[in-house]
Structure 1
Amino acid sequence: MAQNPGRRGFLVGGAVLGVGALAAACTSNEPAPAPSAAAPAAPAPAATGGNDAPGTKVVIGFSAPAADHGWIAAIAKNAEAAAKQYSDVEFKPVEPTNDINVQISAVESLIAQKVNVIVMLPNDGQQLNQVARQATDAGIPVVNLDRIFPDKLSYRTWIGGDNYGMGVAAGHYIGKKLKDKGVSNPVILEIQGIATLPLTQDRSKGFEDALKNYGFSVTAKQDAQFTVESGTEVASNLLQAHSKIDAIWNHDDDQGIGVLAAIKEANRNEFFMVGGAGSANAMRDIQAGSSVLEATVTYSPTMASSAIKLARLIAQGKGMSDLLEHQVPQSITLASETITKDNVAEYLPLGFES
C-alpha cells in the first residue's frame, strides 16, 4: 500500500514468499555429492541454520492502525499469532490508533523501551517517516509493513502487497473471459476504494493496462471509500446508470459486502464480478457459486505474519535459510493471486473475516 491512510486492501499462499514457508529451512540436511571437475559446486545457502529453531531472545514492538475494518483487524491478529509460534519472541504491541500523533507517541515509547526491532504499519508513511527514522538511528531496525516510508533510511525491510498487480490480475481475468465469450465493446465497471490514494491509482492503472491486452477499457468507475455503506450506494448508482453490464471489478472485499447487497436488491445477474483482497466472506461466496462474484484477487493481511518472521530473523542477525544471501532482503513484494472456484479451497484458510 502506498504511504497514505486508507487501505492496502495480499494472498500470501501464492505470493513471492509463502507465509508458512517464509522462515522455514528449505535446505536438505543430507551431505551434497562431491562436484565433478566439469561442474563446479554451486555456492551453499547462507549458513543460518533452521530459521524456526530457537535462538536469541528478542523483543518485537508492533504498531498498526485501529481495526476499523476486517483487513486491518486481521493484520493485528496475524502478527500476534506469528509471534506466539516462537519461544524466543516477546511480542510488545502498542495500542492501535488512527491518530497520527498518537501512533508517533506509541512508537516513541517502544524506542524508549529499547525493543530489539519494530514492525510498523503506519497510518501514513509520510507522516510516520520521521519516527521510523528515529528508531533506526537509535539502532532499532524497522520492518515497514504495507504503507511504505518515503525514506529508505527509515526502515530495514519493507514487505507488502502489489497494488498494481491486483489490477493486472483482475484485468486479465475479466479480459480473457469476455474475449473467450466473444463479447465486443463490453460494459466494464470499476468500483474503487478511495480514488485519491496512490494505492487505488496503482490498482486502477494495472487494471487499465491489463484490459488493453484484450482491446477493452473501463466504461465507468467510482470510488466507494472502503466501506460497506458506500459500497451499497455506489453500486446502486452504477446499476441504475447502466441497463446492461458485462463485468465489474470491485477493489475491496470489505466494501464488496455492500456492493453484493445492492446487486441482490436490484435483482441483476447478467454480469460477473471480481473482488479484491481475499476475504473469507468473498471466498465462501465464490465457493458457493450463489452470486455474481466469480473471483477475487489477493492482497492478504497474512503479510503481517511474514513481517514478524522477518523481524525475528533481523533481530537475531540471521538470513533466510532458503536464500543464498546472509541477510534478510531489503524489500519483499507479495504477488496478487487470482482465487476462483477451482482453487478457493486452497486459499480459504488464509481468508480474513470482513
Structure 2
Amino acid sequence: MPETSRRGLLFGTAAVSAGALLTACTSNEPKKETPAADSRPAADDKPGKHVTIGFAGPKADHGWLNAINENAKARAGKYSDVTLEITGGSNDIAAQIGQIDTLINKKVDVLVILPADGKALTQVGLKAMKAGIPVVNLDRVFASPQAYRCWIGGDNYGMGLNAGRFIGERLKDKPDAKVVELAGMDNLELTKQRTQGFDDALKNYPNIKKVARQAADFTVETGQAKMAQLLQAQKQFDALWNHDDDQGVGALRAIQQAGRDDFLMVGGAGAKSAMDAIKADDSVLKATVLYPPTMAASAIDLARALGQGKGVGGLSELEIPASLTLYSAVVTKDNVDEYLPTGFR
C-alpha cells in the first residue's frame, strides 16, 4: 500500500454522530432515548465509499460475548456501504491469531478486534497496523498503543466504583454494615479492576466492611456453587456485589434455595434477565451496573468512518480519539425501562 494511502487510513477521521457514539460513551445520566443498538439510527448513514470490515472476537460462549457479536452484525447491517467479514471466534490464542491473519491476507480495509487475551495478541495488532490496516481494539486492550488506531471499551474500575457507591449510599446510615463480593475470573485484569473500584468506593463509607469474597468464573454453575459457599459462611450481611449477570443467575438460584432475603444485591454487565428481575422487584437484586455490549456497534461505526476518512460530528478535532471509555451506568427500578432494550440474553 502506498505510504500516502496508508497514512490516510491510519490517521483518517471517523464519522460517528454525537448522538450514536458520544452519548453512549460519555453520558453519566440515563437518556430517555436509549434503545438497543440494532434499532438506533445508524451514525451518518448516508452511503459513502465501500468499506470491508474484518471482525474478530473470542468464542461467544457467554451472554455478553454473544451480544458483542450480535451488536456488530446488526450495526454493519445498517450500512449499505459496509461488508462485514466476521470470524468464527475462538478462546484459543493461536486460533484467533490465525483468524486475524486470514483477514489481514484478505486485505480488509479496517479490523475490529476483541482479543481473547490483549497482551498475547498484541503482535497481530501490530502486524495489521504495519500492513496499513487500521485496528479498532475492542474492550480487552493490546499491550501497545501502536497495535491499534483507536480503543473503545467498558470501564471495569468504574463498574466496581459505581457498584460500591450505590451500596454505600444504601447502607451509609447502618452501623457495622457488612458486604460480600462475588467476583469473576481472578486471572483477568478486568476482575482486579472491578474489585479495586469497589474497594475504593467503600473507603468513603467507614461504617461498611467487606467480610468475604469469592471468584465465580463468569458461569451460571460456578456462580451458584460459590454463592452457596458464601451464604453458608456468612450468616448475616447487608449487600452483595456480583461482577457478572450471567453468573448472577446461578447466584440468585443459591440465594432462593437458601431462603435468604436479608440483603440487597447489585449485579454487573446488564443482562436482560437481571433487568427483568430489577423491574419485577421481587428478589434481592436491586440494581446492575452496565458494561454495554453496544460498544461493538460503536466500534463498527468507528471502523466504517476510518475506512471512509470522515469526521466525528460534534467534535472540533480532525481525528477520532485514541480511546473511548463507556460509562458504567447503574440500572435500578427507577430507570430500568430506559435501559431494558439494551439488555442482552
8 Å contact kept, 1:23–1:321: no
In the superposition, the TM-score normalised over structure 1's length comes to 0.86
- Residue 66 of structure 1 deviates from its aligned partner by 0.8
Which deviations, in whole Å up to 9, do the C-alpha atoms of 1:307-332 show, x marking residues without a partner?
00010011111121121111211100
Aligned partner (choices 175, 181, 188) of residue 179 of structure 2: 188
Structure 1 residue corresponding to 2:103, chosen from 107, 110, 117: 110
Counterpart CA distance in 1 for 2:25 and 2:246 is 21
Contact 2:42 2:79 in 1 (8 A): no
Pairing 1:285–2:295 present: no
Match of 1:32 in 2: none
Task: State which of 88, 94, 110 in structure 2 corresponds to 1:101.
Answer: 94
Q: Is 1:145–1:158's contact at 8 Å kept on the other side of the alignment? A: yes
Structure number, greater radius of gyration: 1
Which residue does 1:131 correspond to in 2? 124
Q: Which amino acid aligns with 2:45?
A: D
Gap change, CA 1:313 and 1:16, over 3 Å in 2: same
Bigger share in helix: 2
- Indicate the larger mover: 189-198 or 292-301: 189-198
Separation (CA, whole Å) in 1 of partners of 2:165 and 2:108:
44
> Retained in 2: the 8 A contact 1:13–1:347?
no
Q: In 2 relative to 1, CA 241–72 (structure 1 residues): closer, same or farther, beyond 3 Å?
A: same
Point out where structure 2 has 5 or more consecutive residues left out of the alignment. 1-21, 28-33
Q: Judging changes above 3 Å, is the alpha-carbon distance between structure 1 residues 158 and 23 closer, same or farther for their aligned structure 2 residues?
A: farther
Q: How does 1:196-235 map to 2 (within 5 A)?
A: 196-215=187-206, 216-235=208-227
Aligned length: 315
The 2-side partners of 1:220 and 1:245 are apart by: 10
Deviates more, 1:157-166 or 1:318-327: 318-327
C-alpha displacement at 1:238, in angstroms?
A: 0.6
Aligned with 2:88: secondary structure?
coil
CA offsets 1:70-111 (integer angstroms, 9 cap, x no match): 000011000000000001101111121111111111111111
Query: Paired residue for 1:345, among 319, 325, 337?
Result: 337
Q: Which amino acid in the other structure matches residue 176 of structure 1? A: E
| Equivalent residues of 2:25, 2:324 under 8 A apart | no
Match of 1:163 in 2: 156
Unaligned runs of 5+ in 1: 1-11, 25-50
SS of structure 2 residue aligned to 1:217: strand
The CA deviation at 1:23 is 6.9
Please state whether the residue corresponding to 1:283 is helix, strand or coil: helix
Q: Please report how far the alpha carbon of residue 13 of structure 1 lies from its aligned counterpart in structure 2 after TM superposition.
A: 7.0
Instruction: Give the alignment partner of residue 84 of structure 1, picking from 77, 82, 85.
Output: 77
Matches within 5 A, 1:138-157: 138-157=131-150
Question: 1:261-286: per-residue Cα shift (whole Å, max 9, x none)?
Answer: 00000000010100000100000000
Q: Does 1:16 align with 2:31?
A: no
1:271 aligns with 2:263: yes
CA distance in structure 1 between the partners assigned to 2:75 and 2:220 by the alignment:
29
CA distance in 2, matches of 1:236, 1:157: 42
Report deviation, 1:60. Answer: 0.3
Report the Cα offset of residue 196 of structure 1: 2.5
Alpha-carbon distance, 1:126 to partner = 1.0
**Deviation of 1:217 (Å):** 3.1
Q: In the alignment, which of 236, 259, 262 is matched to residue 228 of structure 2?
A: 236
Provide the alpha-carbon RMSD of the alignment. 1.7
- Amino acid of the structure 2 residue aligned with 1:153: Q
| Alpha-carbon distance, 1:53 to partner | 1.6
Q: Distance in 1 between matches of 2:80 and 2:65?
A: 26
Distance 2:310 2:319 in 1: 6
| Paired residue secondary structure (1:276) | strand
Residue deviations 1:207-253 (CA, integer Å, cap 9, x gap):
01111111123111110011111101111011011111100000000
Cα 1:84–1:117 shift into 2, 3 Å: same
Displacement after TM superposition at 1:21 (Å):
7.6
Q: Find the partner of 2:306 among 305, 314, 317.
A: 314
* Inter-partner Cα distance in structure 2 for 1:68 and 1:111: 25
1:249 to 241, 248, 263: 241
